[in-house]
Amino acid sequence: MIKELEISVPTSYGDITLKKWLELQKEMKNYEGDDEAITALMLYHLCGLDPKYVKGLSMDAYKEIRQELGSFIQNVQLPLQRFIKINEVEYGFEPNLSKMAYGAYADICKFNSIGIDDNWAKIMNILYRPVTKKVGEMYSIKPYTGDTDWERFLDVPMDIHFGALFFIEFTNKWK
């Protein structure tokens, strides 16, 4: 019996949530150096393709999917997106990292590292807060209160996460 599969291949980091990315990264640690296993994991986590179907793909389909994923997967230097929307609420990135509230700075510094890991959604929850006032390019965000509702950032696309991380690394704020 022939089974027809529809495979949804992401074409940018905007198609991948933090939750999916973290699940992929967690499993990839177990297969370092095994390119075939890593490709199968990427097909499973990013495309939703069950591993039992990978060997049934034609060589052309397999190459095309790998090429599509490879076209963006190495580029993690994306621009900072100062404004994002989550559930119809507009969030703004901390407008001035050098003048951020001490509590926000202290809460970020308590993590062992600044990177895309299990703590990253918590860091994003500190850096992005609801916009309270916006005039042109100038804006204010809600004061930092230690809000712990960070799970909403798990569904935010990776282009936003990598943009924020690259910006932080570029500014050298917490190194």
Q: Please tell me the predicted confidence (pLDDT) of residue 149.
A: 93
Q: Please tell me the predicted confidence (pLDDT) of residue 174.
A: 52
| Alpha helices (H) in 8-157, listed in sequence order | 18-28, 35-47, 59-73, 102-109, 120-127
Q: Please tell me the predicted confidence (pLDDT) of residue 109.
A: 92
Q: Please tell me the predicted confidence (pLDDT) of residue 53.
A: 86
Q: Please tell me the predicted confidence (pLDDT) of residue 1.
A: 63
Residues of the chain with pLDDT under 70: 1-3, 172-175
